[in-house]
Amino acid sequence: MRRGTLPPILLLSAFIATASSGCAWISRTFHTAPPSGKPPAVSPVGKPPAAPPAGKPPAVSPLGKPPAAPPAEKPPAADKLFGDGMAALQEGRFERALELFSGAWQEKPGHPGVAREFDVALLALEKSGDAAHAQGKWEDAGKRWMGTLRYITHPASNWRSYPFTRSEVRAKVDRLSAALTEKALTAFRRGELPAAIAGWKTILSYDPGHEEAARSLRTATKQLETLKKMPPGK
């Protein structure tokens, strides 16, 4: 054997010894406890989230956002309609009050407030029709009397205790219509077509189903249109 050349078995032994020494050094390097008082190093992958600044609440994910406070509870529809009806009654809008009371009654049949106030509004409506007639406000009188006829048979009405009957109110409407018809016919015969047309329109404003007024209005309107188309001087 030449000097300076080791047998293969000795080379292998030397290699194994060197590798073992290296592994031991690596193990000591990565498993040696850190100096006392210092926290262990943490891998960036496992780094815990930073604490929020003092005095600020932690951020909340939109998914974890607490639900908004529920809106204030609304009153039942019947009570709302009744309240609006009372406001209209206090303002003197009697027919509007009856309309709202009727809606409340439909939502809640036997509504105690409607049962108490319905007659008050209906009596006031009929009385206001009488007042309008006395002042010569024919259209207002007709509308208020017709409103009385419309609501006097409502289930909330105690019509048997009223100082008037349905027939009596109907008679008031008929007398008003007859007087306005006679006035319109007089104007028509005199050739005062605009005045005649105005009279029949007044009747139809509170009684759209009045056939005589509707027929007379059509006739007078056609004649007026014909006169407007005629050349001057004829």
pLDDT-based confidence at residue 2 (cuts at 50, 70, 90):
very low
Contact criterion met (CB below 8 Å) for 99 and 118: no
- What's the rounded Cα separation, in Å, for the pair 81 and 100? 6
Is residue 147 a part of any domain in this protein? yes
**pLDDT (tens digit per residue) in 156-176:** 999 999 999 999 999 999 999
Is residue 140 a part of any domain in this protein? yes
Is residue 11 a part of any domain in this protein? no
Domain end position, chosen among 132, 164, 196: 164
Is residue 81 a part of any domain in this protein? yes
Is residue 46 a part of any domain in this protein? no
Is residue 175 a part of any domain in this protein? yes
What range does the domain containing 120 cover?
Answer: 76-164
Do 126 and 106 fall into the same domain? yes
Separation in Å, CA 128 to CA 39, 122, 141, 148, 176: 93, 10, 8, 10, 15
Q: Sign of the C-alpha dihedral, residues 94, 100, 102, 104?
A: negative
What total number of domains does the chain contain? 2
Do 81 and 140 fall into the same domain? yes
Domain end position, chosen among 118, 141, 164: 164
Domain end position, chosen among 148, 164, 180: 164
Contact criterion met (CB below 8 Å) for 95 and 147: yes
Is residue 65 a part of any domain in this protein? no
Alpha carbons within 13 angstroms on the beta-carbon side of residue 153 total 6
Average pLDDT over residues 189-210: 96
Q: Which amino acid is at 183?
A: K
The DSSP 8-state label assigned to residue 46 in this structure reads: G
- What's the rounded Cα separation, in Å, for the pair 165 and 171? 10
pLDDT at 30: 39
Contact criterion met (CB below 8 Å) for 165 and 145: no
**pLDDT (tens digit per residue) in 83-139:** 999 999 999 999 999 999 999 999 999 999 999 999 999 999 999 999 999 999 999
Query: By C-alpha distance, which of 38, 154, 203 is closest to 162?
Result: 154
Is residue 52 a part of any domain in this protein? no
- Burial (CB count <10 Å: 0-12, 13-18, 19+), residue 151: buried
pTM of this prediction exceeds 0.85: no
Output the domain CATH number for residue 121. Answer: 1.25.40
Do 80 and 160 fall into the same domain? yes
- Widest CA span in the chain: 159
Tokens representing 127?
């009385």
pLDDT-based confidence at residue 73 (cuts at 50, 70, 90):
low
Contact criterion met (CB below 8 Å) for 210 and 202: no
Do 152 and 176 fall into the same domain? no
Do 105 and 172 fall into the same domain? no
